[in-house]
Amino acid sequence: MTDHAATPETPDTPRKLRVLAAMSGGVDSAVAAARAHEAGHEVTGVHLALSQNPQSFRTGARGCCTLEDSRDARRAADVIGIPFYVWDLAERFREDVIEDFFAEYEAGRTPNPCLRCNEKIKFAALLDRALALGFDAVCTGHYAVIVDSPAGRELHRSADHGKDQSYVLGVLDADQLAHALFPLGADTKDAVREEAERRGLAVARKPDSHDICFIADGDTQAFLATRLGKTPGDIVDADGAKIGEHEGAYAYTVGQRKGLRIGTPAADGKPRYVLDISPVTNTVTVGPAEALNVSELTGIRPRWCGEAPTGVLECTAQVRAHGDEYPAVAEIAEDGASVRVRLREPMRGVARGQAVVLYVGTRVVGSATIDATVRAEAGAGAA
């Protein structure tokens, strides 16, 4: 098995690393740890306790953050034959991921908590602690490929595009990539499950994790209401006319169609979608599908997976974990604080707070948080 994430080395003198394997309790991280161990590295498994009340996280073999997952991770480490520990990062997770989640929705933005967890927890808090303890790298079960090129380390898409997780890793910078191992990048999920069975890992057929780990029942709106409460406001059309009411603008996201609770049908009889959310006026604006098309977006707080690009970059842009790529031209601000992405064809339903990840071929160039969009002109076509 080829480790596409190995650190630079010559064929004749492979380097033995001290590797900290982040083991979620799922099949992917278990096989990744097993491969790192089989490659001759000194591997230690660690499960991250991310909830101050683990029973409140999603259960039922979710493969992420529950007590059940911790036990599955420990059993996998025993089978592999590596030391195993549980590290409590619940307070850091609450501050950097859950509090950020609340704040973003309250501000009318749509965050991606999995992406934030990778940035702030797995490749910041965990990696910092690992390096302080003398480890060389953190190993995870993400489906992505690291390539060592003359220009430095590069992050690339997984060979299995259906499982590719490079989007949620687009927040990693060059220093973090330098200490990352992704042993599964060249494989399919089916191949990983078959390997897990051959290795005798009980998690071989464990279901994949889905949705948001810290929302136990999957009801995001109800979860937000526990913190943000009910804040009634108006639902308006594109002309500003009131056509309905809501109990909290935070419960909506751009592009949403269902659950709008609008009593008055549109004049043309067509469905209406959320076009904008204004926390200042506490209004939700709805309109036709074609009004969701955007031709340009601005990203702030860019993070580059390697040397920061300058000037103008021909690339593709992606705004969802398993969304489509769109041909684009990215213009990086002179001060490096923002990036303007002009799309060569309209993209539909882009929300502030989402991450835009830029690619050149299969290589991840970097990411930024979407702060503003420009609506495509009428007749420009659908995304």
Measured between alpha carbons, how far is 367 from 253 in angstroms, rounded to an integer? 21
* 383 inside domain: no
pLDDT of residue 55: 54
The ranges of the chain with pLDDT < 70 are: 1-14, 52-65, 210-211, 378-383
CATH of the domain at 148: 3.40.50.620
In this structure, the answer to whether residues 274 and 340 fall within a common structural domain is no
In this structure, the answer to whether residues 357 and 270 fall within a common structural domain is no
* 170 inside domain: yes
* 13 inside domain: no
In this structure, the answer to whether residues 271 and 303 fall within a common structural domain is no
Instruction: Pick the closest to residue 125 from 42, 145, 116 (CA basis).
Output: 116
Residue 305 a catalytic site member? no
pLDDT of residue 54: 53
Measured between alpha carbons, how far is 349 from 105 in angstroms, rounded to an integer? 16
Q: What is the DSSP letter of 185?
A: T
Q: Say if CB 101 and CB 228 are below 8 A apart.
A: no
* 306 inside domain: yes
Residue 213 a catalytic site member? yes
Helix (H) or strand (E) holding 112: none
In this structure, the answer to whether residues 76 and 174 fall within a common structural domain is yes
Measured between alpha carbons, how far is 142 from 157 in angstroms, rounded to an integer? 11
Q: Rounded to two decimals, what is the model's pTM?
A: 0.89
The full length of the chain comes to 383
Helix (H, G, I), strand (E, B) or coil at 103: helix
What residues contact 191, with CB distance under 8 A and at least 6 apart?
none
Q: Say if CB 182 and CB 164 are below 8 A apart.
A: no
Point out the catalytic residue in the list 117, 139, 305, 315: 117
Helix (H) or strand (E) holding 91: helix 90-93
Point out the catalytic residue in the list 64, 65, 114, 213: 213
Residue ending a domain, choose from 241, 272, 287:
287
Q: What are the φ and ψ backbone dihedral angles of 234, each rounded to 5 degrees?
A: -100, 145
In this structure, the answer to whether residues 246 and 304 fall within a common structural domain is no
Tens digits of per-residue pLDDT, 306-362? 889 999 999 999 999 989 999 999 999 999 999 999 999 999 989 999 999 999 999
In this structure, the answer to whether residues 251 and 160 fall within a common structural domain is no
Tens digits of per-residue pLDDT, 2-14? 344 434 333 344 6
Cβ atoms within 10 Å of 257's Cβ, excluding its own: 13
Which string of DSSP letters, residue by residue, matches 201-218? -GGGGPPPP-S-TT-TTS
Taking phi first (over 0 means left), then psi (-120 to 50 degrees means alpha), and beta for anything else, what does residue 71 get?
alpha
Q: How many CA atoms lie within 13 A of 122 on its CB side?
A: 28
In this structure, the answer to whether residues 172 and 24 fall within a common structural domain is yes
pLDDT of residue 58: 46
pLDDT of residue 378: 62
Q: Say if CB 271 and CB 353 are below 8 A apart.
A: no
Q: What are the φ and ψ backbone dihedral angles of 343, each rounded to 5 degrees?
A: -90, 135
To the nearest 10°, the Cα dihedral for 270, 271, 275, 280? 110
Give the domain range for residue 342.
291-375
Residue ending a domain, choose from 205, 239, 263:
205
Q: Say if CB 24 and CB 207 are below 8 A apart.
A: no
Q: How many CA atoms lie within 13 A of 117 on its CB side?
A: 20
CATH of the domain at 346: 2.40.30.10
* 50 inside domain: yes
In this structure, the answer to whether residues 95 and 123 fall within a common structural domain is yes
In this structure, the answer to whether residues 145 and 47 fall within a common structural domain is yes
Structural domain count of the chain: 3
**Residue 278 has which token pair?**
């204004």
